[in-house]
Structure 1
């Protein structure tokens, strides 16, 4: 039965099945293989290629499709009304917090919401307000609030 079907159409059907599989189980990878299979099928139909040429063409198209796809997806910008939504630390910049343990250039602790964070900068005594001006790993860089202009 499969002997009666043009191999180009088999490539096309396989490509469409890969595209459907991508919709059912998204991972942004099968779509590129599906596109490569459809392209190989089109060239097989147009130029009546043998199996080794079909496989080589599919491999070439797969490499090209994955390479182009990775570049497109790697550089896509996602516009958001809250670009720092998943970056909790970056959201802290500019916030005014309360010193829990005296802060100086060697260290200290500040209260951020319901948790305490390591901090450097200041100098500030317990109970003082400081503004977060930077982040170094998991340590907040702070400066006494009285030395900074009011937050915008």
Structure 2
């Protein structure tokens, strides 16, 4: 088996590249794609230059190209630089700041509940009786900070 694989030469890298890219479809996350691309690049280098590198040097070239492609992709595909039109998309409570709502359970001792649409939310603020209209001034997790409207 080893004689067969060593006889394939640069085709081993093409096969490894295709297998790694296929593995990317089974385990998504854009990790194996760059290693597959690196294996194909090593295969192209060996095909164009002839099999001039010994197997250990082929692995070194593969490792260097793999690291280079990972850093190259991170540089151009930085998810941190993406701006969202909806700033509070993952902060549901913050989306309601400024809205006027009705107190459902008396706010006494600084704690109570308000109705927002068809949902009851915990609220904190000045003591007010049930039925009072209050303005949401902030959100701490799922607890609204309210003040009389």
Question: Do the aligned residues in 1 keep the contact of 2:136 with 2:145 (CA within 8 Å)?
Answer: yes
Query: Which residue pairs with 2:98 in the alignment?
Result: 94
Gaps of 5+ in 1: 146-152
Query: Which residue pairs with 1:20 in the alignment?
Result: 22
Gaps of 5+ in 2: none
Aligned residues: 143
Which residue, out of 111, 120, 132, partners 1:128? Answer: 132
Q: For 1:90, what is the secondary structure of its paired residue? A: helix
Deviating beyond 6 angstroms after TM superposition, the runs of 4 or more aligned structure 1 residues are: none
Question: Do the aligned residues in 1 keep the contact of 2:105 with 2:112 (CA within 8 Å)?
Answer: yes
TM-score by length of 2: 0.72
TM-aligned CA distance change 1:136 to 1:79, over 3 Å: closer
Deviation at 1:132, TM superposition (A): 2.0
1:6-45 Cα deviation digits (max 9, x unpaired): 2x33212321332233235432212122122122323333
Deviation at 1:111, TM superposition (A): 1.6
TM-aligned CA distance change 1:78 to 1:17, over 3 Å: farther
Deviation at 1:99, TM superposition (A): 0.6
Deviation at 1:118, TM superposition (A): 1.6
